[in-house]
Chains A and B, each alone.
Chain A
Amino acid sequence: MPAIEFLSVTKRYPDGTVAVSSLDLAIEPAEYVCLLGPSGCGKSSTLRMLAGLEEVSEGELRLDGRAINGLPAQRRDMAMVFENYALYPHLNVFDNIAMPLVARGRAASEICTRVARVAEALQISDLLKRYPAQLSGGQRQRVGVGRAIVRRPSTFLLDEPFGHLEAYLRLQLRAEFRRLHERLGTTTLHITHDHEEAAAVSDRIAVIEQGRLQQFGTFLELLDNPVNRFVAEFIGSPPINLLPAQLTGSENGPCVKVGPAKVPLPMARTAGLSQAVASEQLTFGVRPEDVYFDTQDTSETLFGDVVAIEPQGDFSLITVDITVGTIRAMMSSTTILRRGQRVGLRFDVSRAHLFAADGHSLLVPPVRPAGKAR
């Protein structure tokens, strides 16, 4: 039985705006799920309905199989962590973490033990006497998390928990969040607009756009098997290359025509490709890490001029101007390349995508090694 279930849940505000539109989502016990989407996509409304801070307009919300639409927030046994920490400035770290236990009238000895254990897990044991104003952003966020976990809720709700933090702190904290999750095993719903953060911490990701669930799966499923163009564009960094394309045939089966190049598609991926799309303007999608430089001049090679080289470390991001647009490719930063140089490009079609005019994905998903990464 799922721990949390949204059954055709809709959120409609009094002014008629539909924030969430008939959402179906089932989260397993002890699962870490991210709700991912751009601002205004409805992910916050989704979380707030689950927390009991917003009413469900239509549909049913279930916790451990039980409908909770009418259950007040304080009886849902959930703990929420916000972007802005919301710590009590006049209380020190110990008292801030202890607050939910004090409010429930727990014994002093129990409070001490539990706060100490939480502080140790979050590595803030030496900060217990300090006040929030004396802490860095990362430390404050840990205290916020400490206050949420100290009462052992059944569910964590995290609303952009790293939003305010600097990149290096986010990197550090996401490892802490994942570690904590594995140790506590608490079902977690985490909202973010950052796909790298979602990939790092979660088991599965629900991509939401305009109030509708687009896709629910592991990061690798979203990366290699996006159901539509929106998911393909929203996931992955650097972003996927999208180029206008048409479907054509050849003696070896279906091809995609991208600019002057004819890119053959692997048979295994073209099953179910209907003739209906043959006349449509399609979009060919290929990730920068699946673009290769090619010295040969074949019918599937695209030629263009290097317009920018952006070093990133071991790799550089190369932007190439072709007649129908620009393509980004990743290549080793030790490769000798000049701006203005003419280069040939080829694609790893086993990982490429083709989108119909309405955005839905047309090719059979690429074959991935069996098993889950975690």
Chain B
Amino acid sequence: MTRVYLREICLSFGRFHLFDGLSFECPEHAYLCLVGPSGCGKTTLLRIVAGLTHPDSGDIMIGGARVNDLPPWGRGVGLAFQNYALYPHLSVAENLAFPLRARTRKDRVRGAELHRRVRDMAALLQIEPLLHRSVTQLSGGQQQRVALGRSLICNPRVLLLDEPIAHLDVRLRYQMRLELKRLHQRAGTTTIQVTHDQQEALAVADIVAVLKDGQLEQIGPPLKLYRHPATAFVAAFIGDPPMSILRAELITDDGELALRISEAVIPLPRKFIRNLTGARSTKVLLGLRPTQVALADYAGPHTVAGIIYSHEIVGRQLELVLAIGNDRLRYRTDRVLRVSVGEHVNVSLALDNARLFDGGTGRCLGADDDIAELGTVETV
């Protein structure tokens, strides 16, 4: 049982409260990614689990036992950081063996057993030919593998990774994130990883937790966060492209509920209406991905007027950043368009798969009805 559970964690730095009663769980054998903007507390949370930072109050539970009073080396956690922190004067094999040698006399591993463990770990990470090289002769990806091996060699109950692949170039990052995922599939070690890259989190994790200002915005499977963001913040943070968020107002138009965006009035699809009981005010936020936006040939009663704010090439597509009032709306097209900044355009919005959020709290307003569509891709 190596479930990790944090209960009611509080941590302050002077008058600044980072965590104010934060609780969250990483189930046994899960691969959980913590994501969020810098300063959200994700690395601090990892350090709390590792025992490198002590909370003011709250319980840290690993495998059902409270570990608050245990030192980092007594918690059964393996750690790997983005800067590898390998011993430059030691070979790959010596770096891997280090944690086994450094233990107390009673637990120390030596002789044939030590060699076997080092060889097995090198095989798992496919670095056997490198065992006798100095770590300074290795590429970034190889060093990263050695650092991972060193954190895994003591068979930790929990593996903690802080931005493990942030330093690598694009091609190697794709390769290493796949290796992390496959390693987890083979070893099954409960893993918590911190990353600033939400695409990486979606790709490797079973569970993604989004933090903002020390608070958990949402925790769940990657595609649940993508398709059903719980808050406008998650909607605008997760996905490439993320959702654009437009300020809108709920109004009644001819007895029917509608959204007013800028000057336009757009009828609200029926499925939203029964979920709007949770709305506290008429101010709402509309979340849309570029695929839910289309350029209209002319201004109509339901089109929204905008101005081309900027444009980018994204892969084989052209992305327009449109200014709708003070908000930005992103639209993508395969078509070859000649556009210029400042041009006026009209867009129609497909609200069927859009998300509505409360204008005050940012919480999603219902729309759980299509939750059954989840899990169509098997990731396990």
Using Cβ atoms and an 8 Å threshold, which residues of chain A touch B376?
333-336
Using Cβ atoms and an 8 Å threshold, which residues of chain B touch A178?
310-312, 341
The answer, among A174, A195, A309, for a CB contact under 8 Å with B170, is A195
A236 to B174, CA, bound (A): 12
The answer to whether A271 has its CB under 8 Å from any CB of chain B is: no
Question: Judging by beta carbons under 8 Å apart, are B378 and A200 in contact?
Answer: no
User: Which of B177, B312, B315, B380 has the largest number of chain A CB atoms within 10 A?
Assistant: B312
Q: Which residue of B lies closest to A319 (CB)?
A: B178
**B93 vs chain A, min Cβ distance (A):** 28
The answer to whether B137 has its CB under 8 Å from any CB of chain A is: no
Question: Judging by beta carbons under 8 Å apart, are B37 and A38 in contact?
Answer: no
A308 to B176, CA, bound (A): 13
Question: Judging by beta carbons under 8 Å apart, are A311 and B223 in contact?
Answer: yes
Question: Judging by beta carbons under 8 Å apart, are A313 and B321 in contact?
Answer: no
Per-position 1/0 for A359-374, Cβ under 8 A of B: 0000000000101111
Instruction: Of the listed stretches B53-61, B195-203, B252-260, name the one at the interface; the rest are far from the partner chain.
Output: B195-203
Q: Give the total of A residues in contact with B, Cβ under 8 Å.
A: 52
**A105 vs chain B, min Cβ distance (A):** 33
Question: Judging by beta carbons under 8 Å apart, are A199 and B313 in contact?
Answer: yes
**B168 vs chain A, min Cβ distance (A):** 12
Question: Judging by beta carbons under 8 Å apart, are A373 and B178 in contact?
Answer: no
Question: Judging by beta carbons under 8 Å apart, are B182 and A307 in contact?
Answer: yes
Per-position 1/0 for B299-337, Cβ under 8 A of A: 000000000011111111011010000001000000011
A140 to B174, CA, bound (A): 31
Q: Which residue of B lies closest to A370 (CB)?
A: B336
The answer to whether B339 has its CB under 8 Å from any CB of chain A is: yes
The answer, among B174, B203, B226, B340, for a CB contact under 8 Å with A182, is B340
**B208 vs chain A, min Cβ distance (A):** 10
Q: Which residue of A lies closest to B170 (CB)?
A: A237
Per-position 1/0 for A278-322, Cβ under 8 A of B: 000000000001000000000000000001111111101101000
Q: Give the total of B residues in contact with A, Cβ under 8 Å.
A: 54
Q: Which residue of A lies closest to B373 (CB)?
A: A334
The answer, among B196, B204, B222, B312, for a CB contact under 8 Å with A201, is B312
The answer to whether A135 has its CB under 8 Å from any CB of chain B is: no
Question: Judging by beta carbons under 8 Å apart, are B226 and A311 in contact?
Answer: yes
Question: Judging by beta carbons under 8 Å apart, are B337 and A373 in contact?
Answer: yes
Using Cβ atoms and an 8 Å threshold, which residues of chain B touch A317?
203
The answer to whether A129 has its CB under 8 Å from any CB of chain B is: no
A219 to B336, CA, bound (A): 14
The answer to whether B361 has its CB under 8 Å from any CB of chain A is: no
Using Cβ atoms and an 8 Å threshold, which residues of chain A touch B226?
311, 313
Question: Judging by beta carbons under 8 Å apart, are A183 and B174 in contact?
Answer: no
Question: Judging by beta carbons under 8 Å apart, are B380 and A339 in contact?
Answer: yes
The answer to whether A130 has its CB under 8 Å from any CB of chain B is: no
Question: Judging by beta carbons under 8 Å apart, are A167 and B339 in contact?
Answer: no
**A189 vs chain B, min Cβ distance (A):** 18
Q: Which residue of B lies closest to A183 (CB)?
A: B341
The answer to whether B139 has its CB under 8 Å from any CB of chain A is: no
Question: Judging by beta carbons under 8 Å apart, are B377 and A334 in contact?
Answer: yes
Question: Judging by beta carbons under 8 Å apart, are A312 and B377 in contact?
Answer: no
The answer, among B169, B204, B237, for a CB contact under 8 Å with A38, is B169
Using Cβ atoms and an 8 Å threshold, which residues of chain A touch B339?
374
In B48-93, which residues have CB < 8 Å from any A CB? none
User: Which of B38, B336, B339 has the largest number of chain A CB atoms within 10 A?
Assistant: B336
Using Cβ atoms and an 8 Å threshold, which residues of chain A touch B378?
309, 336-339
Question: Judging by beta carbons under 8 Å apart, are A313 and B310 in contact?
Answer: no
Per-position 1/0 for A29-54, Cβ under 8 A of B: 00000000010000000000000000
User: Which of A220, A328, A369, A374 has the largest number of chain B CB atoms within 10 A?
Assistant: A374
The answer, among B38, B222, B321, for a CB contact under 8 Å with A166, is B38
Per-position 1/0 for A186-207, Cβ under 8 A of B: 0000000111100111000000
Using Cβ atoms and an 8 Å threshold, which residues of chain A touch B238?
313
Using Cβ atoms and an 8 Å threshold, which residues of chain A touch B174?
238-239, 328
Q: Which residue of A lies closest to B330 (CB)?
A: A175
Question: Judging by beta carbons under 8 Å apart, are A333 and B377 in contact?
Answer: yes
**A47 vs chain B, min Cβ distance (A):** 20
Using Cβ atoms and an 8 Å threshold, which residues of chain A touch B222?
311
Interface residues of B (CB under 8 A from A): 37-38, 169-171, 174, 177-178, 181-182, 185, 196-199, 202-204, 222-223, 226, 236-240, 242, 289, 291, 309-316, 318-319, 321, 328, 336-342, 373, 376-380
Nearest 4 A-B pairs (CB), nearest first? A310-B203, A200-B312, A179-B310, A175-B310
Q: List 21 A-B contacts (CB under 8 A).
A: A38-B169, A174-B312, A175-B310, A175-B321, A182-B310, A183-B341, A199-B313, A200-B314, A223-B315, A237-B170, A238-B174, A289-B316, A308-B181, A311-B203, A311-B223, A312-B199, A312-B203, A333-B376, A336-B378, A371-B338, A372-B336
Interface residues of A (CB under 8 A from B): 38, 166-168, 174-176, 178-179, 182-183, 193-196, 199-201, 218-220, 223, 233, 236-239, 289, 307-314, 316-317, 319, 328, 333-339, 369, 371-374
Known: A166-B37, A314-B291; 16 extra A-B contacts, CB below 8 A, are: A38-B169, A167-B198, A168-B236, A175-B311, A178-B311, A196-B314, A236-B315, A239-B170, A310-B202, A311-B223, A313-B202, A314-B289, A334-B376, A336-B378, A374-B318, A374-B337
